[in-house]
Structure 1
């Protein structure tokens, strides 16, 4: 018999998600700097998106497995916390090693080593992501779900702000160099990854230590699950073939809300993947005025050296990407504070759709900002000289930040009520397909579109991202929300 799940205090909800701050810190460092690292190590614009495929592929493979495993796990650490802690440790190892790719040249090409460390980091981040999502669903009662995922979104964006800004701060405040010759990684990026790994581990340990998960009996009671049925299901070890059959049955029979949200997710994450991969070359070309030929390894090999002015511009543009990504994360964090109240007042669908629309318009507006006039910018912690167009790009970051906050919270808040309580983990893992697959598609086609349609003029691929996000805004209105979901068996059938 189901009984009312106790409400959590603000700080209890905060502690549940606090580790996500560190995980997102590491993820933001990756998003803002991996294209920069791989480009310096020798990747061309067309192949950048192919290297980035590692991230969604790892999510596609890891999250459903971890989701199903965490549904069945009950030990001294709890249900979700063992996976969160293990993933954080492995992610930290990858973050320490990736910027040191040139040191391993005796064993393999630095670019290949960098790609392997990217795979390790992404696999580890995904081991953390899914259990964190499920932990909120487990611990936070239904009536607090909007605020639960909004706090998680706030913490994610605080981590993203700090992570995105760190290389810039290390260059302009601490004094580390932000430039790198071919085959090397800038010192500011190297030390940013070291600090990111440390913060990631510290914040995850906070959640692991400060959050006590419910015991099996408490969880079953609060979620209305038959303990005998759940224990028998967890104890049953079906053959691999049967487990795969059962898994695909769950995919086929996923809740209707989940299928409809998948369409929205496709357009949203298709756009985000383009932004993360191509913002650095886009603003280097469009705002700093660097010719696209300096992103072609064959051309660079032909001329024999890269001019100092181009190296400096790439370093400055790379740092400014961190500023832009931090800016949209700041706006996302601010919007997250009001997101739950807005969703309660105007409805999740309206807020979600409007947010995506603003994000799409903001991407398209990149074309309007091209002013190479140098201006002095006071960032409080330091003063820098950048093209005026770079400063103007802070304006569309408002809309992108609003869209990002909604993407992090609204789909999960809309989905959680439609999931069977005894299958939350595995369905949250399956839902990650809707995050990973559009990124895989984007990775496969974006590089081709950029080279074949736009002749490597990267600003136009950002416009493609905007059109995709607007399509996502339209798709939101076709989603039908459900407040509660029945229990299902392994075959995805209602019981």
Structure 2
């Protein structure tokens, strides 16, 4: 492929940073929700299986709502753009419900279930338009770098949510009007940050006025049909590959803490650092992986990363065997396992950072939301199907099998993505005008 100009104009970094505020809000909510909603549910339910079913509700809603709302936003025409109306409505509503969530958890099971339903309804409705805002405003040749910035902000938010806010669950303060803040303070702070980030996003990122020269709106079902019946199957191969690599990831993640407790002898508190290693590496590597892909190509970067992920998964599968054969201490065993997880996070960031831009490059401006929705349809399908499927394997062969399954499935993704021929950045592509963070006027890209 021809060498691309790797110098991204600074204004696109500024725009991407502001768009990343939307991802930051999601990154704040997700870890607090995943960590503490099961604790709230455990007060009322004895069945862990039932708690698990309720915790998959967000993935099920994401599977249906993200493609629907994103496709709907494709067809929306307003003076403030096509994504902003949905963002300005759903993010503040998400913040309000998130603020109320721990109080609902302490009130009754019915209130807690109601809060869970409302939160996921608003949050998943916001996610698609927030994600689609970036390819709407950033030219195709810069989307890998832009997605790296956005993923970095999401990773930082996840670290803030787990390391900075989560310990505040035990902090008891008496505040005017709010009363006792114990078990509520992290949710309150996160909700406040979301309320601040939403208007900041609207003020600094100006979408096109989609009422001006609005093109004919192609039916959603016809757009979907064109994706799957096109002679060029590159988009289909990318979607199938991401189904596989997300299946590998979501098959491992729910059992990771349990593995480190049972096989490495860590406490529950220290076991949480295992997923933290992946998160830290992800945040550090997202931007560099976008820059690398700009130089050598997205497909090549993704395939190299998938090969590395398969190798690292295989090393984790055999980790207990080779550390025991060396007669190593627990400190060495834990240290090497965390090092493998850190490496996993580096290459996982590379896959995620570049796969979305690769898919977006195959889309047109008027069906960008369709491709965004398809990405989430396939990734959320993996998040729903992979954990119980891997759970069956764990019941048969033990916890160590999660890494063996991941290694095999990553190899499958490596083989499938080979057939995708499009999705590379094109320096000469003609893009729509991108907004400026400095004013409401449009600038040519």
- Residue 343 of structure 1 and its aligned partner are, at CA, apart by 0.7
8 Å CA contact 1:288, 1:387 repeated in 2 = no
- Residue 97 of structure 1 and its aligned partner are, at CA, apart by 4.0
Deviations, residues 415-470 of structure 1 (Å, cap 9, x unaligned): 1221122111123213321112222221442344434x24xx54433543343234
Of residues 173, 185, 188, the one that matches 1:191 is 185
In structure 1, distance between residues paired with 2:156 and 2:130: 16
- Aligned residue for 1:419, secondary structure, equals coil
Judged with a 3 Å threshold, the aligned counterparts in structure 2 of structure 1 residues 420 and 54 are, in CA distance, closer, same or farther, namely same
Matches within 5 A, 1:28-39: 28-34=31-37
Matches within 5 A, 1:40-59: 42=45, 50-59=53-62
8 Å CA contact 1:49, 1:277 repeated in 2 = no
Of residues 343, 355, 363, the one that matches 2:305 is 355
Of residues 421, 435, 456, the one that matches 2:365 is 421
* Partner in structure 2 of residue 473 of structure 1: 414
In structure 2, distance between residues paired with 1:260 and 1:271: 17
- Aligned residue for 2:11, secondary structure, equals coil
Of residues 161, 164, 189, the one that matches 2:162 is 164
Judged with a 3 Å threshold, the aligned counterparts in structure 2 of structure 1 residues 446 and 482 are, in CA distance, closer, same or farther, namely closer
Deviations, residues 338-375 of structure 1 (Å, cap 9, x unaligned): 1222112222112112223333444444452699xxxx
- Aligned residue for 1:212, secondary structure, equals coil
Judged with a 3 Å threshold, the aligned counterparts in structure 2 of structure 1 residues 37 and 463 are, in CA distance, closer, same or farther, namely farther
Residue 62 in 1 paired to residue 46 in 2?
Answer: no
Residue 136 in 1 paired to residue 86 in 2?
Answer: no
8 Å CA contact 1:353, 1:476 repeated in 2 = yes
Deviations, residues 130-150 of structure 1 (Å, cap 9, x unaligned): 212221111112232222222
Q: TM-score, normalised by structure 1?
A: 0.70
Deviations, residues 37-76 of structure 1 (Å, cap 9, x unaligned): 6567646665565444323211111112111221122334
- Aligned residue for 1:22, secondary structure, equals helix
- Aligned residue for 1:233, secondary structure, equals coil
In structure 2, distance between residues paired with 1:271 and 1:40: 32
Deviations, residues 185-230 of structure 1 (Å, cap 9, x unaligned): xx98653333333333333332122111122377xxxxxxxx46x1
* Partner in structure 1 of residue 178 of structure 2: none
In structure 2, distance between residues paired with 1:365 and 1:121: 39
Residue 433 in 1 paired to residue 377 in 2?
Answer: yes
Residue 19 in 1 paired to residue 22 in 2?
Answer: yes
Residue 249 in 1 paired to residue 225 in 2?
Answer: yes
Residue 464 in 1 paired to residue 440 in 2?
Answer: no
- Aligned residue for 2:401, secondary structure, equals helix
- Residue 282 of structure 1 and its aligned partner are, at CA, apart by 2.9
Matches within 5 A, 1:22-421: 22-34=25-37, 42=45, 50-100=53-103, 102-105=105-108, 108=110, 113=112, 117-166=115-164, 169-170=167-168, 190-216=184-210, 227=213, 230=215, 232-233=216-217, 246=222, 249-250=225-226, 252-253=228-229, 256-288=233-265, 313-314=267-268, 316-317=269-270, 320-321=271-272, 323-367=273-317, 368=319, 390-421=334-365
8 Å CA contact 2:264, 2:334 repeated in 1 = yes
Judged with a 3 Å threshold, the aligned counterparts in structure 2 of structure 1 residues 169 and 104 are, in CA distance, closer, same or farther, namely closer
* Partner in structure 2 of residue 221 of structure 1: none
In structure 1, distance between residues paired with 2:209 and 2:60: 33
- Aligned residue for 2:366, secondary structure, equals helix
Judged with a 3 Å threshold, the aligned counterparts in structure 2 of structure 1 residues 168 and 426 are, in CA distance, closer, same or farther, namely closer
In structure 1, distance between residues paired with 2:103 and 2:316: 34
In structure 2, distance between residues paired with 1:248 and 1:159: 33
Judged with a 3 Å threshold, the aligned counterparts in structure 2 of structure 1 residues 197 and 354 are, in CA distance, closer, same or farther, namely farther
In structure 2, distance between residues paired with 1:468 and 1:447: 15
Judged with a 3 Å threshold, the aligned counterparts in structure 2 of structure 1 residues 84 and 363 are, in CA distance, closer, same or farther, namely farther
In structure 1, distance between residues paired with 2:226 and 2:97: 33
In structure 2, distance between residues paired with 1:285 and 1:97: 36
8 Å CA contact 2:21, 2:153 repeated in 1 = yes
In structure 2, distance between residues paired with 1:470 and 1:86: 42
In structure 1, distance between residues paired with 2:49 and 2:331: 26
8 Å CA contact 2:19, 2:134 repeated in 1 = yes
In structure 2, distance between residues paired with 1:78 and 1:132: 12
Which residues of structure 1 form unaligned runs of 5+?
1-5, 177-186, 219-226, 235-242, 290-312, 372-385, 487-495
Judged with a 3 Å threshold, the aligned counterparts in structure 2 of structure 1 residues 245 and 138 are, in CA distance, closer, same or farther, namely closer
In structure 2, distance between residues paired with 1:191 and 1:282: 31
Judged with a 3 Å threshold, the aligned counterparts in structure 2 of structure 1 residues 251 and 418 are, in CA distance, closer, same or farther, namely closer
In structure 2, distance between residues paired with 1:363 and 1:39: 32
Judged with a 3 Å threshold, the aligned counterparts in structure 2 of structure 1 residues 476 and 61 are, in CA distance, closer, same or farther, namely same
8 Å CA contact 1:50, 1:443 repeated in 2 = no
8 Å CA contact 1:161, 1:327 repeated in 2 = no
In structure 1, distance between residues paired with 2:233 and 2:87: 29
Q: TM-score, normalised by structure 2?
A: 0.77
In structure 2, distance between residues paired with 1:35 and 1:478: 41
